[in-house]
Structure 1
Amino acid sequence: MILSQANLDASMMDLTSRIKQTYELILDNLSSAKINCTRDVLAQIALLIYECADFVSSYSETKGFLVRLGKNVFSDKASAVANYNSRLDRLMQELRDRAVLNIQDSVQQMRDDVTLDSLAYAGGVGLNQTKKCLDGTRTEILNEIVDWINNTDATAPRIFWLHGQAGRGKSAIAHTIALRAKNLGNFGSCFCFTRVRHHEGLHTKLFTTIARDLADRDVRFRLLLAGIIAYERELRDTEDIVTQWQKCILEPLAQLGGLLTRNVVVVIDALDESGVDTTREGILDIFATHGAELPGNIRILLTSRPLADIREALHSKQHILSRCLDDVHPESATRDITLYISTKLKSLGGTFCDADFDQLAAKSGGLFEWARLACDYLRPRIGVVPKEHFHRITSRARGSPDVLSKFRSVMRQILWSKEPLPISAMDAMRRKFSREDDQYSVRIILNFMASFLVGTTDTSTPVRPFHASFYDFLLDEKRSGEFFIDQADVHHDLALSSLRVMQGDLRFNICSFPTSYLRNSDVVDLAKRVEKNIPLHLLYSCRFWASHLQDVKYGSDLAQCLRAFVTEEKFLFWMEALGVSNFIGEAYRALISAEMWLEITRVKQNIKML
């Protein structure tokens, strides 16, 4: 292609202009902090500009000479210009692509800078909408809590402690308030303790979990919290709850100042189920001593049973508003429970009438948990006639004294066992009880208690209550009446049964090892051998016979069994069973307990002789 000199001159001018613009672009990028990912491309562009500039300069100097050579030379120069432009286009596109990646990296870096994944978080403890109050119930207490939340007075209490005996509906109220706050946009966090997760140490994750929930709600809080964690990395895995409270809760909230325009609600449910009293001691001290330091727009709803340590820590504090559900007017509680029962049983059509609902509500004694379990007991299913179950619940004649006696005996075994046992193991223990009329299967009672206890339909599942309130009910004579379960002589039966089980079932080399010259750690299938050869009732007896013995008064039958056990070879087999089960450490404590029991018994006998 033959080009004119005018066209070539125009192309040269365009290339010169582009060189200037590209040079300025390089200067801008070199001054940017985002240069790392584009440095090599900029270097290539700079070299190309240098080459282009040299080319343009050379053309200017030889232009006259080229004119004398003829037009074909212009075509060669035009091709060179086109090549330079093409190379510049390619490098500029690569620069733009690198810039996009650079932005993405920067965004990711920003995200990494504010991530809180390293901060401990408890999963599965949050809001559960299925546990909320039935619409139309608990209106008085719910309105009282909502009014407290919305109170803008700077002196308003920061903490609302809702307490009452188990089964009063505290958790339902807690979830209802959390759900309302979420729907209204002022939900901060919801943390529900449960005794079945004691082993997880949830109390050490309380404040870090709340902090992360608050961070999810407010990006400003997130940035502040992320900055604190980045500066103090030890916060990421500390179990010091005082430090967690100060650094993860109070400090970022204080820095936010008045930026939170609405009162933010944090719900902490069932603090009494966080563990033993020593477990929650630190949490209680924080709420009692430092709760007043919370900003005026933070509201913490705290629910628990009124255990002694909780009551002592939280009562009579100006920044804590206390409300007891046990003080709710009986008429109000009965009204709400009647509505609850009628709603839950409406699916049964005309099976029950309003009078039946009233009767069930009256039987509840103000306990929503009782009403829930009763409705579940009446629920239609295979082999269940709702009306028959209704009469069982409401009948004044609950059965013969013999039936009640068996009920109490079985529940004693469940309540005072050191560890939950399945039906098969409970039956094996009962067959060794001292009285023959107590040596019956627990099934005659537990087969009818599927609404209250887990493990009643599966002989291998440990028997436990669906809710702790059932045990609380049985142990409170004022509430349970004729169903009250006292301790009686249950420890005597369990101690004697344990000794008899060991005397009958322990044997040499119980796991049938091919050799006794191996460590436990070297036996590949040790766990399977233990499970196969040491049944649960035997393992329970080996572990807890001495614990039951501690709570028993002297009895000749116990003394004889104990003497026979410690003076015969069964004693060695007991230690072997504990060893292969990884409970050998309990042998020392058991022997100390047995020695103390025998010594106390001997002293008492000497005193009587005097």
Structure 2
Amino acid sequence: MERAEVLGGNTEEVVDDILQWVENPSEKRLYWLDGKAGEGKSTIARTICERLMRKNLLGGSFFFKQGSGDRGNAHKFFTTLADRLSAHSPVLKARIASALEIDPKIPKMAFGVQFEKLILKPLSSSDIRKVVIVVDALDECEGDSDVIAIIAVLARVSEETSVDLRVILTSRPEIPPRSELEKILGKVKHYLLNEASSVEKDITHYLRLELSAIQIDAEARGYEFPAEWLDEDRITKLTQISMPLFIVAATICRFVKCGAEERESPEGPEGPVDRLNVIENRIRYDSFGGGSVYIPILKRAVHYQDVWMVTKLW
């Protein structure tokens, strides 16, 4: 899992809100984090997973990503969650293994049956009293009918009494996730990410901390940095070009970080200082938003025949 805890401002407030929700026994069992592309939902989801792991409360997670094999569809969604859940405790591992031994066809059955036999029953017959499942980017799951079915099945956690099973869902405000979740709003705690001023603060905070961490790591590898490398003027410019999309700031940082970690020959991609200069120079000439970040990255990849570097950024 990528390092996720570079947070601040409203983003940290969302994480705190989710963690308080987890601890509150009277809260609804489903938490829906709703926001547009690039607003930091996946970063929040990863951070929540990390913090829940420390508390031994993370039962499992699934990060959907369109076009990425099994991560792009729901075919192995519930079996993956069951596999992660089996690592939570030896008792759960034995119960889940027993269920599959009795009926090996469970992974091919309807989602509701998989959820019942591989997750609910093993949990209800264990001594675990609370566990949380995190599902990121549900809108990227291919197949509207599968998305609808997943939401309907997960909504059943509200009726479970033997264990406090919580589910955190993140998605863009798109149909079908939105339309289906709105049907069960009485069972869902809904958090909408949409405050531009807070997003700007979060992006600034993220850029400053992440680029500082990259500098520390790169200096240990022998790279030298000018004193003005991360002055406030540059951070402000990078924030402006990133707004309102968190993913643009993340792409900048990944592009720069690759320059510190993966330079394999004198003809390879530039170091971190040069890479940030590439981004900043593009900002001077273009003013059409995040596209000015992606263009120099793609041009560098083509120039150096370094396609693997681009694919690593997403």
TM-score class, shorter-chain normalisation, is: 0.7 to 0.9
Q: Cα gap change, 1:225/1:364 in structure 2, threshold over 3 Å: closer, same or farther? A: same
Q: Cα gap change, 1:464/1:336 in structure 2, threshold over 3 Å: closer, same or farther? A: closer
Instruction: Write out per-residue CA displacement over residues 377-426 of structure 1, whole angstroms, 9 at most, x where no aligned residue.
Output: 56765394744641421x3x538xxxx9xxxxxx9xxxxxxxxxxxxxxx
Amino acid at match of 2:165: I
For residue 90 of structure 1, what is the aligned residue in structure 2?
none
Tell me the distance in 2 between the aligned counterparts of 1:213 and 1:382: 39
Kept in 1: contact 2:64–2:71 (CA 8 A): no
Find 1:333's aligned residue among 195, 199, 215.
199
For residue 299 of structure 1, what is the aligned residue in structure 2?
166
For residue 218 of structure 2, what is the aligned residue in structure 1?
none
**Unmatched tracts of structure 2, length 5 or more:** 216-224, 260-268
The question of 1:366 aligning with 2:236 is answered: no
Kept in 2: contact 1:341–1:375 (CA 8 A): yes
The normalised TM-score by structure 1 is: 0.42
Kept in 2: contact 1:378–1:386 (CA 8 A): yes
Find 1:178's aligned residue among 49, 56, 60.
49
Kept in 2: contact 1:373–1:452 (CA 8 A): no
Tell me the distance in 2 between the aligned counterparts of 1:305 and 1:203: 17
Q: Give the 3-state SS of the residue equivalent to 1:253 in structure 2.
A: helix
Tell me the distance in 2 between the aligned counterparts of 1:284 and 1:202: 14
For residue 263 of structure 2, what is the aligned residue in structure 1?
none
Tell me the distance in 1 between the aligned counterparts of 2:177 and 2:111: 17
For residue 222 of structure 1, what is the aligned residue in structure 2?
93
Instruction: Write out per-residue CA displacement over residues 286-315 of structure 1, whole angstroms, 9 at most, x where no aligned residue.
Output: 234x24233451111111212210001112
Instruction: Write out per-residue CA displacement over residues 88-134 of structure 1, whole angstroms, 9 at most, x where no aligned residue.
Output: xxxxxxxxxxxxxxxxxxxxxxxxxxxxxxxxxxxxxxxx1x24130
Equivalent positions of 1:140-539 (< 5 A) are 140-153=13-26, 156-198=27-69, 202-235=73-106, 237-256=107-126, 259-261=127-129, 263-288=130-155, 290-295=156-161, 297-315=164-182, 316-325=184-193, 327=194, 329-346=195-212, 347=215, 348=225, 349-376=227-254, 382=270, 384=274, 386-387=276-277, 389-393=279-283, 395=284, 398=286, 449-451=295-297, 456-457=302-303
Tell me the distance in 2 between the aligned counterparts of 1:209 and 1:387: 42
Find 2:4's aligned residue among 107, 115, 132.
132
Amino acid at match of 1:272: D
Q: Cα gap change, 1:183/1:452 in structure 2, threshold over 3 Å: closer, same or farther? A: farther
Equivalent positions of 1:531-570 (< 5 A) are none
Tell me the distance in 2 between the aligned counterparts of 1:201 and 1:362: 32
Amino acid at match of 2:297: S
The normalised TM-score by structure 2 is: 0.77
**Unmatched tracts of structure 1, length 5 or more:** 1-127, 405-410, 412-444, 469-610
Kept in 1: contact 2:66–2:73 (CA 8 A): no
Identical aligned residues as a percent: 25
Q: Give the 3-state SS of the residue equivalent to 1:133 in structure 2.
A: coil
Number of residues of Structure 1 aligned to a counterpart in Structure 2: 285
Q: Give the 3-state SS of the residue equivalent to 2:97 in structure 1.
A: helix
Kept in 2: contact 1:228–1:247 (CA 8 A): yes
Q: Give the 3-state SS of the residue equivalent to 1:230 in structure 2.
A: helix
Kept in 2: contact 1:203–1:274 (CA 8 A): yes
Q: Give the 3-state SS of the residue equivalent to 1:350 in structure 2.
A: coil
More helix by share: 1
Instruction: Write out per-residue CA displacement over residues 263-284 of structure 1, whole angstroms, 9 at most, x where no aligned residue.
Output: 3121111222221323423212
Kept in 1: contact 2:38–2:248 (CA 8 A): yes
Amino acid at match of 1:323: Y
Q: Cα gap change, 1:232/1:374 in structure 2, threshold over 3 Å: closer, same or farther? A: closer
Note the C-alpha offset of 1:357: 1.2
Note the C-alpha offset of 1:230: 3.3
Amino acid at match of 1:133: E
Amino acid at match of 2:208: S
More strand by share: 2
Q: Give the 3-state SS of the residue equivalent to 2:93 in structure 1.
A: helix
Note the C-alpha offset of 1:145: 0.3
Kept in 2: contact 1:166–1:305 (CA 8 A): yes
Kept in 1: contact 2:134–2:168 (CA 8 A): yes
Instruction: Write out per-residue CA displacement over residues 208-261 of structure 1, whole angstroms, 9 at most, x where no aligned residue.
Output: 2212322221233334333433333322x42422210121122223334xx324
Tell me the distance in 2 between the aligned counterparts of 1:249 and 1:181: 18
Kept in 2: contact 1:163–1:305 (CA 8 A): yes
Kept in 1: contact 2:65–2:140 (CA 8 A): yes
Kept in 2: contact 1:265–1:298 (CA 8 A): yes
Note the C-alpha offset of 1:455: 5.8
Q: Give the 3-state SS of the residue equivalent to 2:19 in structure 1.
A: helix
Higher relative contact order (CA 8 A, sep 6+): 2
Tell me the distance in 1 between the aligned counterparts of 2:70 and 2:134: 22
Q: Give the 3-state SS of the residue equivalent to 2:167 in structure 1.
A: strand
Q: Cα gap change, 1:344/1:467 in structure 2, threshold over 3 Å: closer, same or farther? A: closer
Note the C-alpha offset of 1:150: 0.6
For residue 78 of structure 1, what is the aligned residue in structure 2?
none
Q: Cα gap change, 1:189/1:354 in structure 2, threshold over 3 Å: closer, same or farther? A: same
Q: Give the 3-state SS of the residue equivalent to 1:345 in structure 2.
A: helix
